Chains A and B, each alone.
Chain A
Amino acid sequence: MTPVLEVTDLNVSFGDVLAVRGVGYSVRQGEVLGIVGESGSGKSVTSAAVMGLLPPGAKVTGSVRLHGRELIGARQRELTAFRGKTMSMVFQDPLSALTPVYRVGDQIAEAVRIHQKVTKEQAAVKAVELLDLVGIPNPAERALAFPHEFSGGMRQRAVIAMAIANDPDVIICDEPTTALDVTIQAQVLEVLKKAQRETGAAIVMITHDLGVVAGFADRVLVMYAGRPVEVGDVDDIYYGPRMPYTVGLLSSIPRVDRDGRQPLVPIEGAPPSPAALPPGCPFAPRCPMRVDACDAAEPPLFDVGPAHRAACIRWEEVRPRAAARHAVPVHLGELRPRQDRQVVLEVDGLVKQYPLLRGSVFKRRVGTVHAVAGVSFDVREGETLGLVGESGCGKTTTLMEILELTEPQEGRIVVLGHDTARLGGTDRMAIRRDMQVVFQDPLASLDPRMTVYDILAEPLRAHGRGNPGMRVAELLDLVGLDASHAARYPQEFSGGQRQRIGIARALALEPRLLALDEPVSALDVSIQAGVINLLDALKTELGLSYLFVAHDLAVVRYIADRVAVMYLGRIAEIGQVDAVYGAPAHPYTQALLSAIPLPDPVRERSRRRILLEGDLPSPADPPSGCRFRTRCPKFRAALTDDERALCVTVEPSVRLLDRDQGAACHYAEKLKVT
């Protein structure tokens, strides 16, 4: 079968920086190619180059053939005829991918009308069909909605609907699920699989998550420093990698199915900047197997097996899970028993409500958003509490309420022994020094107009530490950045590097309690592992306590001692990490855990998921009784009508099931899911 899309020797440069070097791949009809690589490895640039959507400053050479037709150098008119018809694209950020001022249905209909000679009405009907296909409930009604009325998952579905509107032969998905929650990710991946079945299209699936492609892709291409370094069938790549980088990636992934606390094996260092590549193998500075010959020339792709190629001169010696040569942080055994340790943070019955306003010209209050509806937990010295849940479940609000250091609307917050309701200015300032925060969005949390130096020096200056120069260099070193980076602006860093700056800033004052809001969700696995290890090491070294907010349960399993799972403003399940992950008792926790993709193709293909239906209900109008009942698989399938009545009428509160595991479900039952 001839390939639908064939890319050979693609090079992209911005000015004199080569962002993509010699990328080549081909996909056949119905095939799924996964492109995996770290941030800045050139995945997005490659796909933009294939689509011809690069910014004007970029220079592209090489060949992109779609059904044998050369696209590089083709005229704009020809390209626009292909785009959206033969070849379409799904972007990473569904929040900004739709034009805010047009109705979703109209935007999908537009995609139809560009390439098909149909009337407005026919296109509108088609748009509704497409929305139905991608699983939007009440499609006819929802087609009239504006993008801001859609949740992230729904917007991504709409974008997918747009991409499959004209029955394309190739769909390029650039991290289509990265911005989504796991349960939604599972739904969207199902939608993509369905779309592929419907259209028979080839899919190029770009991702940094080795789990996402494991169960989905047929072939995998691993990119590093703008170049493919290994390509092969999915099983070969996962079970018999021949490139130390792939091996490193696989062993740095936190896995939700691994018992016990095994330290992750990060890849040392950071990817090279495309402007300053090392002379030989670009991976050499980070490679545990490097020999002098590696620096001689950039290794070509060697044939290492049937349809399996790797760019390493020592490929014959490479084995999966190469022994860790890296320093692994020593875990200082168990601390004193939990009840003997000091409570550094106590939250009791916390409630936070926002007025729900409508309209900005004629603003008026139309309801109340119950963002946090009675949450209680505590964090003791030297421990990490992971607060997990889907976006919108109130975990960030909880964190913010704590950080505000003011009296909550209801309930009580005690930070480092001080009740926030009775806090003077000096005490508050002292707590601000001892409690620091790391934010989710690495770019938004750094002032774009300050150099890294100023950003890192700010907390030092605010608390009167003079001459921050030395400390700034130390901090940059601590988080794996070069001290010379201090002169640059945040925009000039990759997503991962930006977050390191954010972490460095939080560590500047050597705090006691660190509140981390999704601190590693934007990082690549290899770096993530390093940061998790770093945070872990810092915790033991400095006696820190963490409140670790995340949506990634796998990460939480590695970093946290205890975990609290939130749903719609309340805690669904809380307890000791191994207990909760080993045998979750709340149906929501069970669904969450089963939605997490594993970087293990065989298990992924055979696994049965508990798929949740629909989206999170609006926190302005939570369901009566148990908040989870609208999506609860147990409520839907396993309970009798009498049992259901209890779920509908009585809101369950956290009930202790074990020594340190509690669940807010009337019918909680431990179940092994991973």
Chain B
Amino acid sequence: MTLLTAHRAPSRLRVVAWRFFQSAQGRIGFAVLVLLFLLAFAGPGFSLWSYTDKDFTAFLSPPSAEHWFGTLQTGADVYAVTLRGMRKSLIVGLLAALVSTALAAVVGAFAGYFPGWPDRVLTWGTDLLLVLPAFLVLAVMSPLFGAGQWVLFVIMLALFLWMVTSKIVRGMTISLKQREFIQAARFMGVSPVRIIFRHIIPNLSSLLIVDATLNVSAAILTETSLSYFGFGIQPPDVSFGTLIADGSRTAIYAPWTFWFVAGLLVITVLAVNLIGDALRDAFDPASQRPR
């Protein structure tokens, strides 16, 4: 009997990671996202221009050796400001998605697992936030997100992203709770909180991961839209949204002010979505994807 193999607890994480990197999607998405992060955090070091510099010899000039992505009307270097904006958008998006998905999982699972008043209270709160128009609230609150207050912005963003997932999680928890493996754990003496975190949430992992990625996109996209209208990230901070707002005004005659930012935004969200998709397959032991 091969006792040795049994002693080494096979970690689920390793199995999932292995499967994740087996898929081309996962590899590409991961590689692109890593590259984007490198670009956002190390990229500015390669350029002569910082995002606050203005080149008064070149207003709205097309891409050149001097200004790789061209310059804006103000003479700012597009490469520098784009990377700066990307850095902020990446952080905002990832954080907001993380917070909102975690919130959704916990609230939904608890509401589904504990029928009666916890369920009623949590569901009511979820419904209320679902009915409040998120864009309106965020827009109205925008004066509060002034310089340096982007963390508050992230939290508010997350607060309006989790409800749908949470409702789905609640519904699935209710049906999961009837499943025999949950009953088995219950009768074994495993505590409800542990059941929620060990069985219910992992069994919803594919849903949660897909939703987390959709939320990363949603967060970045919402941030972009809000900032586009001036309700999000406030100057002097820049983000994808503020840059796209500026760029779209000059897009027709100076395409570089719009397309680089828009392109990077799309690539970012795309990479995140690819990762989510590959992760879902990796988590789902039943999926058989041709490699």
Contact = CB atoms under 8 A, between A and B. Distances in A.
The reply, when asked whether chain A contacts chain B directly with Cβ atoms under 8 A, is yes
A483 B2 contact: yes
A546 interface: no
B189 A473 contact: no
Interface in B5-23: 5-10, 12, 15
A433 interface: yes
Given A447-B181, A448-B203, A449-B12, A459 B5 contact: no
Contacts of A437: 183-184, 187-188
B185 interface: yes
Contact of A484 (B6, B15, B184, B286): B6
B3 A447 contact: no
B9 A453 contact: yes
B194 A473 contact: no
B205 interface: yes
A629 interface: no
A304 interface: no
B7 A473 contact: yes
A303 interface: no
A246 interface: no
B1 A453 contact: no
A484 B179 contact: no
Contacts of B6: 453, 469, 472-473, 476, 483-484, 486
A567 B180 CA distance: 24
B188 A462 contact: yes
Contacts of A457: 9
B283 interface: yes
A477 interface: yes
Interface in B269-284: 283
Contacts of A510: none
A463 interface: yes
Interface string B195-206: 000110011010
Nearest to B185: A458
B187 A491 contact: no
B285 A489 contact: yes
B288 interface: yes
Given A449-B283, A450-B12, A458 B190 contact: yes
A440 interface: yes
Nearest to B189: A432
Nearest to A448: B285
Given A441-B180, A445-B181, A462-B190, A486 B1 contact: no
Nearest to A468: B9
A483 B1 contact: yes
Contact of B9 (A441, A446, A469): A469
Contact of B189 (A453, A462, A470, A492): A462
A450 B185 CA distance: 12
Nearest to B179: A444
A449 B1 contact: no
Interface residues of A, number: 43
B189 to A, nearest CB: 3
Interface in B246-291: 283, 285-286, 288
Contacts of A439: 180, 183-184
Interface string A448-466: 1111011001110011000
A152 to B, nearest CB: 18
A444 B175 CA distance: 12
A436 interface: yes
A48 interface: no
A382 B205 CA distance: 43
B188 A436 contact: yes
Contacts of A400: 183
Given A448-B203, A459-B189, A484-B6, A491 B285 contact: yes
Which of A433, A472, A487 has the largest count of B CB atoms less than 10 A from its CB?
Answer: A487
A557 interface: no
Nearest to B199: A447
B189 A429 contact: yes
A446 B199 CA distance: 10
A82 B187 CA distance: 50
Contacts of A453: 6, 9-10
Interface string B169-188: 00000000001110111011
Given A453-B6, A458-B198, 20 more contacts: A57-B288, A403-B187, A432-B187, A436-B187, A437-B184, A441-B180, A444-B179, A446-B181, A447-B203, A454-B12, A457-B9, A458-B190, A459-B189, A462-B188, A469-B7, A470-B3, A483-B3, A483-B6, A484-B6, A486-B6
Q: Which 4 A-B pairs have the closest CB atoms?
A: A432-B189, A445-B180, A487-B10, A473-B6
19 contacts: A432-B187, A445-B180, A448-B181, A448-B286, A449-B202, A449-B205, A449-B285, A451-B12, A451-B15, A453-B10, A454-B12, A458-B190, A462-B194, A469-B6, A473-B3, A473-B6, A483-B1, A486-B5, A491-B285
